[in-house]
Amino acid sequence: MRTKTVVRIGALVAAASVVAGLTGCSAQSSGSGSSGAASGTYTFWDPYPQYDASSAWGKLVAQCGKDAGVTVKRTGYDTSDLTNKALLAGQQGKSPDVLLVDNPVVSTLAQSGILTDTATSGLQTGDIAENILGAGVIDGKTYGVPIGANTLALYYNPKVLEAAGVDPSSVKDWDSLTAALAKVKAAGKKGITFSGINTEEGSFQFLPWFWGADADLTKLDSAGAEEALQLWKGWIDEGYAPNSVIQNTQTTSWQEFQSGDFAFGENGTWQKDAAKEMGAGVITIPAKDGGAAPVPTGGEFFTIPVQKDDARYATTKKIVECLSSGDDVVTTDNTLNYVAASKDLQQQQLSGNADLKTWVEAVSAARARTGDNLGVQYPVISEQLWTAVQKAESGSASPSDALQSAQQAVDAKLQK
């Protein structure tokens, strides 16, 4: 009898703890960023686990440390993991000396108080383009410097367009784009693919159209926003865009484009080499009434987390400046498929590779998602935006209803 009770209790504990395992991970941690003050070792976290110490990036980081007279211990984390890793490390007072994070996360980390602003760290923002730096500016304080920027544009497949009798240069605004899609469909090919998924990627991909209709993130239910959502919804309904865009990540959307059946694919700077390989061209995303639409900036920021020992910032600053504005930054940006963050460096990049013209243009028209002092309001808005996009795409609500309830949800959440 007694053993049975024990077994029973054991089963209960096991049952409860299996579930606890799922949620417990939020409370568990493994802060490994020890920072021995005077040891001459500086810790460096980035979201590039694909590069090891023998890669160009790994060597550059080590070299910049050597130039500053210290050893840099670099660790690459998965980008989705890095925010929580950084918060946990901050909680335990074990923040790395340098933290390279995705730009929309900077405001979240700054809000948590684990980042120094440039006034404390002494980082120079110099001639960095304002629209790229915007993601790191909150309430007039700057919390980091960009390594470079990537963004979105429209790739096109010349073979498909030619078969349909469409000249890519004729695509100037939404109407001419939709007309081109109609021609492509009539020619038996597929129109356009993008990522309309219910994650940050979905918002990222929708923003060029949203901003291209002069909509503003502080008012999701504006007429412009509705037109942008109606545009996407119309493409899906007409069969210009496949139904799978609803669950497409940017990667699966790219795979669709690479199948060779699609005329257009909305995707990022990071695919430009693959695009070249398959002979695809690229144009900027058109705004509703013509011209290049404002696109959201992607790419990482160098940030300097708060340390107990103020004396460390001087050396950390040297390392970051070496990486963000040294001679190698153009090479680095080329390797990482980024457009450099300042106008001068962009020209330098262009003179080496004229193919980048569209991308430099796109980045010049780009905006930071957390810019305009939205800061940590952006994640709340973005979540409601991608939810509204999903509702409209899947037909569970009309674009105007979806956007209205999105704005109501934002108001309710931000009031709290």
Residues that bind other proteins (CB under 8 A): 4, 8, 11-13, 15-24, 26-28, 80, 83-84, 87, 90-91, 104-105, 108-109, 111-114, 197-200, 242-244, 246-247, 256, 376, 378-380, 382-383, 387, 390-391, 393-397
Choose among 181, 174, 161, 257: nearest CA to 208. Answer: 174
DSSP string, 205-262: HHHHHHHHTT-BTTBTTSHHHHHHHHHHHHHHHHTSS-GGGGT--HHHHHHHHHTT-E
Comparing CB distances to other proteins, the nearer of 28 and 169 is 28
**Shortest distance in whole angstroms from residue 8 CB to other proteins:** 5
Q: 15-29 burial by CB neighbour count: b if 16+ within 10 A, else e?
A: eeeeeeeeeeeeeee
**Shortest distance in whole angstroms from residue 179 CB to other proteins:** 23
Collect all residues with Cβ–Cβ distance below 8 Å to 300 and sequence separation of at least 6.
46, 47, 100, 101, 102, 103, 146, 147
Q: How far apart are CA 319 and CA 340, in angstroms?
A: 18
Comparing CB distances to other proteins, the nearer of 9 and 314 is 9
**Shortest distance in whole angstroms from residue 199 CB to other proteins:** 6
Comparing CB distances to other proteins, the nearer of 2 and 69 is 2
Comparing CB distances to other proteins, the nearer of 86 and 345 is 86
**Shortest distance in whole angstroms from residue 257 CB to other proteins:** 13
Q: Do the Cβ atoms of 148 and 302 come closer than 8 Å?
A: no
**Shortest distance in whole angstroms from residue 266 CB to other proteins:** 17
Comparing CB distances to other proteins, the nearer of 23 and 169 is 23
Comparing CB distances to other proteins, the nearer of 160 and 283 is 160
Comparing CB distances to other proteins, the nearer of 113 and 352 is 113
Q: Which residues pair with 303 in a beta bridge?
A: 99
Q: Which residues pair with 99 in a beta bridge?
A: 45, 303
Q: How far apart are CA 312 and CA 207, in angstroms?
A: 39
Comparing CB distances to other proteins, the nearer of 179 and 380 is 380
**Shortest distance in whole angstroms from residue 172 CB to other proteins:** 29
Coil/strand/helix, residue 286: strand
**Shortest distance in whole angstroms from residue 239 CB to other proteins:** 10
Q: Edge-to-edge, what's the strand order for the sheet holding 98-102?
A: 71-76, 41-46, 98-102, 300-303, 145-146
**Shortest distance in whole angstroms from residue 263 CB to other proteins:** 15
Distances (CA, A) of 316 to 102, 242, 310: 19, 48, 10
**Shortest distance in whole angstroms from residue 3 CB to other proteins:** 12
How many CB atoms sit inside 10 A of residue 308's CB? Answer: 9
Q: How far apart are CA 134 and CA 146, in angstroms?
A: 10
What is the DSSP code (8-state) at residue 173?
Answer: S
**Shortest distance in whole angstroms from residue 408 CB to other proteins:** 10
Collect all residues with Cβ–Cβ distance below 8 Å to 56 and sequence separation of at least 6.
331, 332, 335
Q: Do the Cβ atoms of 261 and 185 come closer than 8 Å?
A: no
- Cα 73 to the chain's mean position, in Å? 25
Comparing CB distances to other proteins, the nearer of 26 and 169 is 26
Comparing CB distances to other proteins, the nearer of 11 and 223 is 11
